[in-house]
Amino acid sequence: MSLFTRRAITGVLAAIAAISFANAALAQTTLQKIRKQGYIRIGFANEAPYSYATASGKLTGESPSVFKYVMKKLGVNEVDGVLTEWGSLIPGLKAGRFDAIVASMYITPKRCKQVIFANPTYAIGEAFIVKKGNPDGVNTFADAIKKDLKIAFIAGTVEVRYAKMAGLSREQWLIVPNFASGVAAVTAGRASAVALTSLTAKDLAAKDDAIERAKPFTFTHNGKSYKGEGSFAFRKEDASLRDAVNAQLAKFIGTPAHLAMIKPFGFDKSNLPDKTTAQLCAGK
């Protein structure tokens, strides 16, 4: 065999090895990646008591607490948060800014077309934030429709869908980018209320004497109740990560350890989920 031939063969083998290495790297799943690096980057929207950063920068709340527990079970000891406006969470996930959404996001058929969800970790109803004393007497969407009141909504939240289903006209909507803007709209008189989950409303009202939480309610439409159930979201190609998370959730949700973990955030047995992700994605 000539020197040229040997060199050619060696070069071909080296190229094949390089391609194989590159393909192996490309084939690495997100679950394998985070286990290897020891951390995962997640998106959150700073909504207490679900997922938020403390004054010292610590990521906490119902969703991060459960997620951190699950990640440790999977061999991932560090969870890094990326603060993101609510409406940018799914686009940010799909763009690769982070590898999971950990914001107690409601599981809805529309969202299920864009991402995949772990099974729900909690269930919750709705409530409005209103000025102290609720001067406009608004507790539900029906009240707002009857009295022709303007209601504020956080962009991208399920409450926008509920308002549409309830028949609230577009002229009565005020879309704002975040929770602080929603409260500001109420206190400034630009909206009679801001629509939120009942626990978010409770948390915000406890921090501001100028507002209060109106009477909590479960949204109903055509005889069907829409109690929100939320969980973690992943990219569609990350089914192995979602499945590993589900396996841990099945052993943890509803246990005494789980209930003790979420109690400081205002959750209890009444907030345990009733449905599976498959049911929620199907609109059941």
Q: What pLDDT shows up at residue 35?
A: 97
User: How would residue 224 be classed by pLDDT, with cut points 50, 70 and 90?
Assistant: confident
Residue 226, pLDDT > 90, answer no
Residue 5, pLDDT > 90, answer no
* Same CATH fold assignment for domains 30-123+229-281 and 126-225: yes
CB 194 within 8 A of CB 102: no
Q: Per residue in 174-209, pLDDT tens?
A: 999 999 999 999 999 999 999 999 999 999 999 999
- What's the average model confidence in pLDDT over 252-273? 94
User: How would residue 11 be classed by pLDDT, with cut points 50, 70 and 90?
Assistant: low
Domain ranges for the chain, please list them: 30-123+229-281, 126-225
Q: Per residue in 112-121, pLDDT tens?
A: 999 999 999 9
Q: How far, in Å, CA of 241 to CA of 118, rounded?
A: 9
Question: Structurally, what CATH architecture does the domain formed by 30-123+229-281 represent?
Answer: 3-Layer(aba) Sandwich (3.40)
DSSP string, 24-45: HHHH--HHHHHHHHSEEEEEE-
Q: Find, among 88, 120, 94, 99, the residue nearest to 35 by Cα.
A: 99
What tokens does 194 get? 């801001």
Give the residue, 223 or 277, on which the prediction is more confident. Answer: 277
Whether domain 126-225 has CATH 3.40.190.10: the reply is yes
Residue 14, pLDDT > 80, answer no
